Amino acid sequence: MSNRVIQAMYNDDDILMDAVKEVRAANHHIAEVYTPFPVHGLDKAMGLKGTRIAITAFLYGCVGFSFAVWMMNYMMIEQWPQDIGGKPSFSFFLNMPAFVPIMFELSVFFAAHLMVITFYMRSRLWPFKEAENPDPRTTDDMFVMEVYVDGNEDELVSFLENTGTVEIKVTEKHN
Amino acid sequence: MYTFSSKLKQFSFALMIIGFLGVAYGFFSTPNSVEDVKVMLANSHETHGESATQEKEAHATETTESQENVAHSDDAHAEHAYHYLKNKPWSALYVALFFFFMISLATLAFYAIQHAAQAGWSIVLFRVMEAITAYLPVGGVLLFVFFVLSSLHLNHLFIWMDPEVVAHDELIQNKTGYLNVPFFLARAAIYIGGWIWYRQHARKLTLAQDNATSGDISNYTKLFKRSAAFLVFFLVTESMMSWDWIMSLDPHWFSTLFGWYVFASMIVSAVTTIALVSIYLKGKGYLEFVNNSHLHDLAKFMFGFSIFWTYLWFSQFMLIWYANIPEEVTYFVSRFGDYKLPFLGMLVLNFLFPLLVLMNSDFKRVNWFIVCTGIIILIGHYIDIFVMIMPATVGDQWYFGISEISSVLLILGLFIYFVFSALTKAPLLAKGNPFIKESEHFHY
């Protein structure tokens, strides 16, 4: 597949959704869609797979929970089981209610932060990263759909022109 | 329109009859005198070599020791056990009565919240909720009759109603300004009357809205305002209800978040019941406008309120455990001592199970997942009410027997009969509501 893409610009999210459906129905390959805000249902129309980030968050939460249990057990029960205000430090379960707030908070802390970091890594976001939008207007009020060119370029351009686009550009895809 | 299938009707009657016979048996099989209890206790010592009292651990070693215990269990102990055993069928009935009443009551609160919040998704479920609240007048009257019988000293559940006890108990004497029979019954009448009034009024208004000319939403706006007012009334009365009807069973004990804790138990059972009835009706083909997004929302509420219940349960437990002040901690000492399995087991049913099963978004759309978890949650919250009431009324003499099971069956039969009769009385879609289109197309 060549790296040539057609950038079709739209000025309305409803028109964009219809265009995405038409392009998919005609078996053209959509490289990317740039929108200034989340368009409800766009991922479904594009046929993107559901995210698995909730599953990672659950696993991270389990890690945080286990860490809290291990830490409290090691520090308060095994390492130096002091009598602090008469709390029963003979075993973990005898003193567990006092540890629950920490167990809860660490589960949430691990789940939230590691999930966010996972999100940054998977979506390649970091400070000083060069912005990738094809046209600055896509962050304001315009929508751009990039379609790979396969086969007849002119035919594809005229096909896209019929989907309600306001501007069309054929370029090289860089990334 | 829904037609009450004759099979379900027969089933509810069968439950009522079996339950009634079991409850009657429970009342007749209580010991008649302290002497009977002494014989019974002596028998159980000889046959099992183990006493039913708290000293279980102390003499787990040898039978010779339990022989001493027989001599030890004197008249006072038999007297104590006698009162507990006399209370048992009453308490079993009370737990069942309160459990089904609270489902109905919290459904009403949930219903009022949906109106006051102008929720768009839940309109298609309004008739289901209204039907579940149809048990409210019945349950309210039954509970009130129960309280009147208690105040006539037919049972010994509320020990502060006994002048003998109060005469020797300075702590209760200090509370008689609040805990006295006339005021107690008056309060109960006000709560129950207020709740029933809102229920009947709301039902009348939604039915009127159904028949209103298009564009006329005066009944709807009226209901919006009444629901908001009801919620204020409900929050105050629900809290006081929990002090009166449950906390006063342990008149020496008090807890500030108790009202909220009872409410959490109520609301999660109510949402679960709404989901179960909706799934049943949808399975029979009566609710074709209810889609799995509605069920998903109900399941999310089941999940969220289960966690909320656990949060309040733990907050109450942990604060008392941590400070360990003797006058408060006895409440949990008696529950940990004699009720360890139900007390800790309900945490598994009410927290761990819903947490793990209902966390997945896809599972919340699968009917049989919701039904299974729903049944577990309802059992768990029955046990919750059981553990709130029983330790104060039957103490260490509890067991899960004919009285408990048949009380549940009896009230369950009544509940099914009144809920499903109410469903036949109105169309299952509240079509006059201005949000009905949004609700029918609700999609998540």
- Cross-chain Cβ contact A97/B321 below 8 Å: yes
- With H, G, I as helix, E, B as strand and everything else as coil, classify residue A135: coil
- Cross-chain Cβ contact A100/B318 below 8 Å: yes
Q: Is the pLDDT of residue B58 over 50?
A: no
What pLDDT score was predicted for residue B332? 94
Strand partners, A4: A172
Q: Say if residue A29 is in the same domain as residue A80.
A: no
Question: By percentage, how much of chain B surpasses pLDDT 70?
Answer: 93
Residue (of B219, B6, B198) closest to B104 by Cα position: B198
Instruction: Residue count of chain B, please give it.
Output: 444
Task: Collect all residues of chain B within an 8 Å Cβ-Cβ radius of residue A98.
Answer: 318, 322
Residue (of B375, B385, B423) closest to B407 by Cα position: B385
Residue B45's pLDDT band, with cuts at 50, 70 and 90, is low
- Cross-chain Cβ contact B314/A98 below 8 Å: no
**What is the pLDDT averaged over residues B237-248?**
95
What pLDDT score was predicted for residue B66? 47
Q: Is the pLDDT of residue B141 over 50?
A: yes
| Domain hosting residue A28, numbered range | 4-34+133-144+160-172
- Cross-chain Cβ contact B314/A100 below 8 Å: yes
Highest mean pLDDT among A43-52, B48-57, B77-86: A43-52
Q: Say if residue A138 is in the same domain as residue A110.
A: no
Q: Say if residue A76 is in the same domain as residue A103.
A: yes
Q: Is the pLDDT of residue A1 over 90?
A: no
Residue B30's pLDDT band, with cuts at 50, 70 and 90, is confident
Written as one letter, the residue type at B223 is L
Residue of A nearest to B355 (CA): A58
What pLDDT score was predicted for residue A115? 97
A110 belongs to a structural domain: yes
Q: Tokens 């046959």 label which residue? A: B47
Q: Transcribe B145-178 into DSSP letters.
A: HHHHHHHTTSS-SSGGG-HHHHHT-HHHHTTTTT
The nearest CA of chain B is from the CA of A52 a distance in Å of 12
- Cross-chain Cβ contact B318/A54 below 8 Å: no
Task: Collect all residues of chain A within an 8 Å Cβ-Cβ radius of residue B318.
Answer: 97-98, 100
Residue A174's pLDDT band, with cuts at 50, 70 and 90, is low
B57 in Cβ contact with B66 (< 8 Å): no
What pLDDT score was predicted for residue B432? 84
Give per-residue pLDDT as tens, B307-345. Answer: 999 999 999 999 999 999 998 999 999 999 999 999 999
User: How many domains does chain A fold into?
Assistant: 2
Residue of A nearest to B318 (CA): A97
- Cross-chain Cβ contact A86/B321 below 8 Å: no
The nearest CA of chain A is from the CA of B318 a distance in Å of 6
What pLDDT score was predicted for residue B64? 46
To the nearest whole number, what is the mean pLDDT of chain B?
90
Terminal CA-CA length for chain A: 14
Q: Where are the beta strands (DSSP E) in B247-356?
A: none
Q: What is d(CA B336, CA B334) in angstroms, rounded to the nearest whole number?
A: 6
Q: What is d(CA A95, CA A84) in angstroms, rounded to the nearest whole number?
A: 11
What pLDDT score was predicted for residue B12? 96
Q: Say if residue A12 is in the same domain as residue A56.
A: no
Residue of B nearest to A88 (CA): B322
Q: Is the pLDDT of residue B72 over 60?
A: no
Q: Is the pLDDT of residue A175 over 80?
A: no
Give per-residue pLDDT as tens, B414-436. Answer: 999 999 999 999 999 988 888 88
Highest mean pLDDT among B47-56, B75-84, B372-381: B372-381
Residue B129's pLDDT band, with cuts at 50, 70 and 90, is very high
Question: By percentage, how much of chain B surpasses pLDDT 90?
Answer: 73
**What is the pLDDT averaged over residues B62-84?**
64
Residue of B nearest to A97 (CA): B318
What pLDDT score was predicted for residue B55? 45
**What is the pLDDT averaged over residues A50-70?**
96
Task: Collect all residues of chain A within an 8 Å Cβ-Cβ radius of residue B359.
Answer: 58
The nearest CA of chain B is from the CA of A136 a distance in Å of 32
Token representation of residue A102: 């920490």
ipTM: 0.89
Task: Collect all residues of chain A within an 8 Å Cβ-Cβ radius of residue B324.
Answer: 86
- Cross-chain Cβ contact B322/A58 below 8 Å: no
**What is the pLDDT averaged over residues B187-194?**
96
Enumerate residues 6+ apart whose C-beta is below 8 A from B408: B19, B96, B99, B382
- Cross-chain Cβ contact B317/A97 below 8 Å: yes
Residue B397's pLDDT band, with cuts at 50, 70 and 90, is confident
Q: Give chain B's largest Cα–Cα span.
A: 84
Q: Is the pLDDT of residue A23 over 80?
A: yes
Residue B51's pLDDT band, with cuts at 50, 70 and 90, is very low
Residue B433's CB is within 10 A of a number of other CB atoms, namely 22
Interface of B with A (CB under 8 A): 314, 317-318, 321-322, 324, 359, 361
What pLDDT score was predicted for residue A24? 92
Residue B258's CB is within 10 A of a number of other CB atoms, namely 18
Task: Collect all residues of chain A within an 8 Å Cβ-Cβ radius of residue B347.
Answer: none
Written as one letter, the residue type at A35 is T
Residue of B nearest to A58 (CA): B359
Residue A4's pLDDT band, with cuts at 50, 70 and 90, is confident
A contact test, residue of B303, B316, B322 with most A CBs within 10 A: B322
Q: Is the pLDDT of residue B5 over 80?
A: yes
Token representation of residue A138: 């896509």
Q: Say if residue A118 is in the same domain as residue A137.
A: no
Partner residue opposite A98 with nearest CB, options B322, B359, B361: B322
What pLDDT score was predicted for residue B33? 79
Q: What angle separates helix B135-151 from helix B181-211, to the nearest 10 degrees?
A: 170
- Cross-chain Cβ contact B324/A100 below 8 Å: no
Enumerate residues 6+ apart whose C-beta is below 8 A from A134: A7, A34, A144, A146, A171
- Cross-chain Cβ contact B318/A58 below 8 Å: no
- Of A118-127, A152-161, B267-276, least confident by mean pLDDT is A152-161
A115 belongs to a structural domain: yes
Q: Is the pLDDT of residue B54 over 50?
A: no
Highest mean pLDDT among A3-7, A158-162, B145-149, B154-158: B145-149
Q: Say if residue A140 is in the same domain as residue A97.
A: no
Higher per-residue confidence, A10 vs A4 = A10
